[in-house]
Structure 1
Amino acid sequence: MAGDDDDSTAPKIDFSSSYYLGSHDVPSAKISNIMLTKYNYQDWHKSMRMSLKSRQKFGFVDGTIKKPTDHVTLDNWEVVHCTLVQWIRNMIDPSLFPTIPYGEDASVLWAALKARFSVVDATLIHSLKTQLKNCVQTKGMDVTTYFGKLQSLWDALIVHEPPFACKCDIGQDAINRLDNERLHQFFMGLDSTLYGNIRSQQFQFDPLPSLSRAYHVVLQEERLRAETMPSDTSDVSAFAVSSSHPSTDWRAQREKERGERFQKLLCSHCQTRGHEIGNCFFKTNRFPEWWGDRPRTLAEYRRYRAGLRGHSSGSGAAGGTVSGSGRDKDATVHANAVMGPSAHYLLDSERLSGPFIEDDDWSR
């Protein structure tokens, strides 16, 4: 009886064992997000392989874990295989069920699927290489999206053309050549107008930088461009005009800014635009050297200005001139420059008010 009790009590399976099945490891579980069809075996195989390895069960399907001889372990082995068969079938399109075996050995099912769907297709390889050749960064496509398209094609191609799997020097050379080939493919498809200089710089290195390093450099350049380039179409147009006519655009912008400053500044003492009360000659009683013998009281200066306007209006049509005194006694002001009540600030001799006053004029 004691012996019967010992036989009926199965040893507990440690959770770290490949034979362990948790409460969530039920036969109806779906362990992948890719359903096997006629044309996606490589993606399905990669996804299932990772899922089974994460559960310590891949050794059962690839035949690494052999069928045991003792009946206790054999029972556990059969339980695991039946569960794995269900997991695999759960991730197969039902339309394929009639074409695949339905046994209780997961390794047999796994091998049958590989033999039936994992075929070396020269047409598919040619198609992938053609897509790689034509993969380019189109207008508006960011670098990350472009690199992602390349990476998906590389991953699909390497399934059919795996690299030389050897840890010797020859194997390392093969890996380096593959990386260099991908580096050239990456730069060939980049937008040359944006990253042509980066490509030239990277190709000057000997040995060539790794693909990861080149991608990082290009990504930094893209981020820098995003921070410095105009944000909308109107800004882009303005930027283009500025680049084609740098001198004209700079002068026009400077005159515009001066005009805006002129309109904003109004002296509350002399009621003249172009300066504030803190810089008013009449308020501070500090006149620059170029002021010369002009009136130095506000009332006299207003009469003086009124006389200038009257003289210019009488002689403007004839192109007459008004002589002014100051730092340059021979300075001449064209009367046609003072046409209109708000244009008097253009007088060269009347530098007190006007958008063309420089900061150092006030300290002269």
Structure 2
Amino acid sequence: MSDTKSEAAEASQVVISKQGDTMKLSPYTLFSSDNPGSMITSVHLKGDNYNEWSLEMLNALCAKKKSGFVDGSLPQPEEGDVNLESWLSVNSMIVGWIRTSIEPRVRSTVTFITNAHKLWENLKQRFAVGNKVKVHQLMEQLASCRQNGEPVIDYFGKLSIKWEEMQTYRPSPPCTCTAARIYEKEREDERVHQFIMGLDDSRFGNVVSSIIEADELPDIGKVYAKVIREEARLDSAKTREHTQDVVGFATRRDTNTDDQSARRDSREGSVSQGGRADFSSGRARDRVCSHCGKTGHDKNTCWQLIGYPEWMTERGGGRGGRGSNRGGGRGFNSGRGRGITSNIAHATTPHVSTVADLTPEQLKAITQIIQDKQSGSSEKLSGPFYEDYDWSR
């Protein structure tokens, strides 16, 4: 009688324990923080996710050493057994955990069953009916899954999710003999083939060929590592090519800019040598002639000193002017009329774009020919502009 009391006392001490106590856990151990409304898993049973929910729930119960209450390996003790009270207490706790993990909408359709094992089997019977259809859908998704240019880690992640889900519907047989290892190797090879079949052939064709040609397929971990290394090598080569293209483009742009600057400077030099002021250039616009005081040219290219081009008399025409030659240089006419022509030439120069680029020597030669041709004639300037001009200024 005393032995029975001591066993009951020991059992009661095992059932409820304070957290932090160092003791050997048993299926009947409960902590002070345990209550039927606790969530021991983050996954809720929604109806169509039974396999995911059942795996998470079993894992949590195994961590607490209470999986025997739902799989039937720890049945209810007989009447008079010292562990009966402890078993009933833990069983009620597990029933509360199961019902708490079911969504309220689904829970309202579940019959209240006080036995944890019977409740577990009832849920399995109700919500695990579509396994064959789900397996077919998963196999179809695995067969059509392709990388399509995305990173290898993302592509492999999608496959891993489907493999894990398939494992819940088609678990490995509970066998520990040699046949179990053979079966596991076949499943591993099947995953390797599914993985390399979906890789982009343009990038990983060589790697896939080397894997297939091997005498024995490596496991999925080694295959994944090999593909990741190849991806890193290809990305590095692509980055290096892009950097070279950018440097080449910058070099070509700088070269083109230098060529344009050289051509612009050459044009400005030609204009200065030909006696024309390029007013579209800021450099020419800032120049001031020390002889006539006008902008756009300097003393070396002043028409009053080196002479006027032929187009000046052709456009002006008419008689010669009066007065003296202020510049004292060579020109088409003497007197004040040439000064008027000079003013007109400098005023219209920005709009003249058809005059050929001539050297000072060529301009001098042309001026001499025109002077010889016009010698003795003073009626070279005519037209409304010259007739109306105030010659007394």
Structures share fold, TM-score greater than 0.5: yes
- Unaligned 5+ segments in structure 1 are 243-248, 260-364
Kept after mapping to 1: 8 A contact 2:39/2:97: yes
1:108 counterpart residue number:
118
Q: Does 1:235 align with 2:232?
A: no
Q: How big is the shift at 1:198?
A: 0.8
1:200 counterpart residue number:
209
Q: Does 1:222 align with 2:223?
A: no
Q: Distance in 1 between matches of 2:6 and 2:182?
A: 59
1:126 counterpart residue number:
136
Q: How big is the shift at 1:217?
A: 0.8
SS at 1:99 equivalent: coil
Kept after mapping to 1: 8 A contact 2:55/2:168: no
Q: Distance in 1 between matches of 2:13 and 2:161?
A: 44
2:109 counterpart residue number:
99
Map 1:256-335 → 2, pairs under 5 A: none
1:172 counterpart residue number:
181
Kept after mapping to 2: 8 A contact 1:164/1:175: no
Q: Distance in 1 between matches of 2:228 and 2:212?
A: 17
Kept after mapping to 2: 8 A contact 1:183/1:211: yes
Q: How big is the shift at 1:142?
A: 1.6
The 1:71–1:193 alpha-carbon spacing in structure 2 relative to 1, beyond 3 Å, is: same
Q: Does 1:153 align with 2:159?
A: no
Q: Distance in 2 between matches of 1:12 and 1:34?
A: 32
Give 1:85's aligned amino acid.
V
The 1:24–1:227 alpha-carbon spacing in structure 2 relative to 1, beyond 3 Å, is: farther
Q: Distance in 1 between matches of 2:111 and 2:82?
A: 27
Q: Distance in 1 between matches of 2:8 and 2:162?
A: 55
Q: How big is the shift at 1:26?
A: 1.6
SS at 1:103 equivalent: coil
Kept after mapping to 2: 8 A contact 1:120/1:160: no
The 1:158–1:226 alpha-carbon spacing in structure 2 relative to 1, beyond 3 Å, is: same
1:88 counterpart residue number:
98
Q: Distance in 1 between matches of 2:223 and 2:55?
A: 28
Cα deviations by residue, 1:186-238 (Å, 9 ceiling, x for unpaired): 0011111221111111112101212221111112222333444318xx92792
SS at 1:12 equivalent: helix
Give 2:39's aligned amino acid.
K
2:26 counterpart residue number:
17
Kept after mapping to 2: 8 A contact 1:61/1:106: yes
Q: Distance in 2 between matches of 1:230 and 1:210?
A: 31
Q: How big is the shift at 1:177?
A: 1.7
The 1:178–1:142 alpha-carbon spacing in structure 2 relative to 1, beyond 3 Å, is: same
2:152 counterpart residue number:
143
Q: How big is the shift at 1:53?
A: 0.5
Q: Distance in 2 between matches of 1:170 and 1:17?
A: 34
The 1:38–1:25 alpha-carbon spacing in structure 2 relative to 1, beyond 3 Å, is: same
**In percent, how many aligned pairs have the same letter?**
31
Q: Distance in 1 between matches of 2:243 and 2:213?
A: 32
Q: Distance in 2 between matches of 1:171 and 1:63?
A: 25
Q: How big is the shift at 1:18?
A: 1.3
Q: Distance in 2 between matches of 1:134 and 1:159?
A: 21
Kept after mapping to 2: 8 A contact 1:32/1:91: yes
Q: How many residues align?
A: 243
Q: How big is the shift at 1:149?
A: 0.7
1:338 counterpart residue number:
none
Q: Distance in 2 between matches of 1:102 and 1:214?
A: 49
Give 1:44's aligned amino acid.
W
Q: Indicate the structure (1 or 2) with the bigger Cα radius of gyration.
A: 2
Give 1:158's aligned amino acid.
Q
Q: Distance in 1 between matches of 2:61 and 2:178?
A: 32
Q: Distance in 2 between matches of 1:182 and 1:49?
A: 26
Q: How big is the shift at 1:64?
A: 1.1
Cα deviations by residue, 1:3-36 (Å, 9 ceiling, x for unpaired): 9997995641155111111122221210111100
The 1:67–1:224 alpha-carbon spacing in structure 2 relative to 1, beyond 3 Å, is: same
Worse-superposed segment, 26-35 or 165-174: 165-174
Which of 17, 41, 45 is residue 36 of structure 1 equivalent to?
A: 45
Kept after mapping to 2: 8 A contact 1:81/1:105: yes
Give the TM-score, by structure 2 length: 0.56
Kept after mapping to 1: 8 A contact 2:77/2:84: yes
1:310 counterpart residue number:
none
Give 1:93's aligned amino acid.
E
Give the TM-score, by structure 1 length: 0.60
2:352 counterpart residue number:
none
Give 1:216's aligned amino acid.
A
